[in-house]
Chains A and B, each alone.
Chain A
């Protein structure tokens, strides 16, 4: 079985400040981890993924995520938030042998001007 948790339904941050959106996972075996973003009334857009290798993954729009195997976490980060980053963010996990991707419940990020 595989699962993913996003412990915060809502994250608020001031523009220009660093942001973190948290994600923890549970899988059997090696995880493949993904972050997606959803703007209002739109489909999900892929941001970045961890498959193997360097624990720090860089993605679109200046976002990055750090894979931490001991803490089973894959937190999304950005050094300086923009108002346009305000959106719903989803973490997803897939075990190496799994045929399905499992999504978290989402975190609404609001960047305040």
Chain B
């Protein structure tokens, strides 16, 4: 069991460039999430997918899009990167419902210059 995997681990972009962060889970979870982590701010939810075929905005969705490709995969796209999107991005998954803990991937460290 690999759990939650993310690619790439590191990325440097120039302002205005685009990229897609990939996430996959092998735990047969229905729900998947994308967070960003910034110093002193904890984790903030960007988008989530409660189940295959659905996506919803979180706390900080501006500048991002997501695709729930299938039950296993949930990608995050930056169409036109900005320096304010410099952050560490984490993907997570969980069983459906509010009582279940989330399982996190190792993260992608993104720098936008």
Could you list which residues of chain A lie within 8 angstroms of chain B, going by C-beta atoms?
9, 32, 34, 36, 41-46, 49, 51, 90, 94, 96-101, 103-106
Contact = CB atoms under 8 A, between A and B. Distances in A.
B45 interface: yes
A49 B48 CA distance: 21
B76 to A, nearest CB: 15
A9 B50 CA distance: 32
Contacts of A45: 104
B102 A101 contact: yes
Interface range, B side: 20 to 34
A90 B43 contact: yes
Given A44-B90, A98-B98, A90 B42 contact: yes
B4 A43 contact: yes
Given A44-B102, A44-B104, A106-B40, 5 more contacts: A41-B106, A90-B43, A103-B43, A103-B44, A106-B42
A94 B100 CA distance: 10
